[in-house]
Amino acid sequence: MSHEAIIPTGSAPPLAPYSPGVKVGNTVYVSGVLSMNEVGDIVGADDIKAQTRQVIETIKSVVETAGGSLGDIAFNQIFLADLSDYADMNEVYAEYFSNNPPARYCIRADLVKPEFLVEISSTAHI
């Protein structure tokens, strides 16, 4: 089965050799998303809510470019630099995934740069 790279218009430049998303059949795999704008600058420095919102909006753009919506996401993997940000991240997350939320896990992890507070990777079935 072939796969198609999904690169939404205005995507941040990748920090490594990867595509923002890949579609295989009706499944979309969204790479780990960090809070960056289209030129690679951090969005929401020191603000977990702003970073969470930017990350989910970026995930949304990848899934929509592939022909789906946030409602098609079946699984999210969430990485937090500091678990004390868990409640604030969840507050924003619930705005996007309040009805029939996807399965997920959330762990504490060192992220690729210390200014990033959250990273989320998703799997959607369209």
In single-letter form, the type of residue at position 101 comes to: P
Half-sphere exposure at residue 24, Cβ-oriented, CA atoms within 13 angstroms: 7
What is the rounded CA–CA span in Å between residue 94 and residue 25? 28
- The catalytic residue positions are 106
What is the rounded CA–CA span in Å between residue 56 and residue 7? 15
